[in-house]
Amino acid sequence: MSVTLIDGKAFAAKVRGQVAEHVSALKESHGVTPGLAVVLVGEDPASQVYVRSKGKQTVEVGMNSFEHKLDVDTSEADLLALIDRLNNDPDVHGILVQLPLPEHLNEDLVINSIAPEKDVDGFHISNVGLLGTGQTSMVPCTPLGCLMMLREHHGSLSGLNAVVVGRSNIVGKPMAQLLLGDSCTVTIAHSRTKDLPEVLRRADIVVAAVGRPEFVQGDWIKPGATVIDVGINRIERDGKNKLVGDVDFASAQTVAGAITPVPGGVGPMTIACLLANTLTACCRSRGLPEPQ
Ligand code: NDP
C-alpha cells in the first residue's frame, strides 16, 4: 500500500486563491477591504518570522495589513489600550496578538480583551465556549487547517476513531472539539496517558501536537491511518539545521495511508486559515453572507 502525501502547501495556495477572489468581490460590490492587525511584543526570532509571513500573505490576498511592533518591556496597560483602539477601528476586522508574550504580560487577560468577533485566532474565552457548544465561532487556525485537510482527504469523518496527542488550548483541545463536531470518536492523549502506542494503534486518524521532535513512531500507527503532524521542531542533524515534526516521518510513512509532511503540511494551512478567518470576520461585521 502506498502512502498519500497530504500537500498542505498546495491546499493552502488554493485556500488563499479563494480568499483573494472573495476579497476582490467584497471590494467591488461593497467597497470594503478586510483588514488584519497583528501585534508583536518583543523580538522573539520565531515570532518575527511568523509575523512577517502573515503580513506578506495578508497583502497578497488583497487585504489590509496593520503591523504593531511593541518593545519587549511594553506595559500591560499600553498593550490593552492598543487592543482597545483596534477593537474600535472599523478598518480592522481581525486582531491577532502573537504568542508567546513576554512573561510580565498576562496572556489570558490580553487575549480576552480582544473583541470576540475580531479574535481571528479563536482563543478568546467566548469563542472557546462557542466552539465547545457547537455554535458559530472563530475557530483556531491550526486545528481548522488540520480539519480542512482531513475533510478533503476522507470526505466524511463520521464514525472514525481519532486520537489527538496533546491537550493545549491552542491546538489539542480545539482539534478534539472539531473532530467531535464531525462525529469522530475522539481520544485526547497527553503526557500522563498510559500506553500511548496502544492507544494510537486504534486510531484511524492521528493528530500529533506534542512539541517533541519525531516522537510518534511508525509502529504505533494503525496500517492505513491518516497522520496529521502539527509539530514544528528545529533540530540539528548531520551538522545542519532541520525542521521536523512530532512524527517520525521515515517510519510513519511506511505504515500510514496518508500523512502530512513537515514542512509543507499543517504550517502553510495555518496562515491560510488566518486569512480565511479575517475574511469571515469582515463579512460578519457587515452582515454579509460568509464564504464557504
Ligand atoms: P504544548 O507544549 O502547549 O502542548 C504539548 C502537549 O503535548 C501537552 O498537552 C503535553 O501533555 C503533550 N505531551 C508532551 N509530552 C508528551 C508525551 N511524552 N506523551 C504524550 N503527550 C505529551 O504545545 P502546542 O500544542 O502549542 O504545540 C504542539 C506542537 O505543534 C509544537 O511542536 C508546536 O511547535 C506545533 N505548532 C504548530 C503550529 C503550526 O502552525 N503548524 C501552530 C501551533 C503549534 P501535558 O498537557 O500532559 O503536559
Helix locations, the chain, DSSP H: 8-30, 45-60, 76-87, 107-111, 125-132, 141-154, 172-181, 196-200, 249-252, 266-285
**Which residues are known to be catalytic?**
54, 98, 121
Tell me the CATH number for domain 141-267.
Answer: 3.40.50.720
Atom 28 of ligand 1, nearest CA residue: 209
In this structure, the strands spanning 233-237 and 240-244 are: antiparallel
The pLDDT value recorded for residue 52 is 96
**30-116 and 141-267: identical CATH topology:** yes
**DSSP element (H, E) containing 96:** strand 94-97
The pLDDT value recorded for residue 74 is 98
ipTM above 0.90, yes or no: yes
Cα–Cα distance for residue pair 25/191, rounded to 1 Å = 47
Binding site membership of 168 for ligand 1 (Cβ less than 6 Å): yes
Cα dihedral 219, 221, 222, 227 sign: negative
What residue spans define the domains of the chain? 30-116, 141-267
- Ligand 1: atom nearest CA of 192 is 47
Q: Which CATH superfamily is domain 30-116 in?
A: Leucine Dehydrogenase, chain A, domain 1 (3.40.50.10860)
Question: How far, in Å, are 64, 234, 292 from residue 260 at the CA level?
Answer: 31, 17, 24
The pLDDT value recorded for residue 291 is 86
What's the average pLDDT block by block, 10 residues per block, for the chain (292 residues)?
94 98 97 98 94 97 98 98 98 97 98 98 98 96 98 98 98 98 98 98 98 98 98 95 97 98 97 98 95 82
Cα–Cα distance for residue pair 25/103, rounded to 1 Å = 42
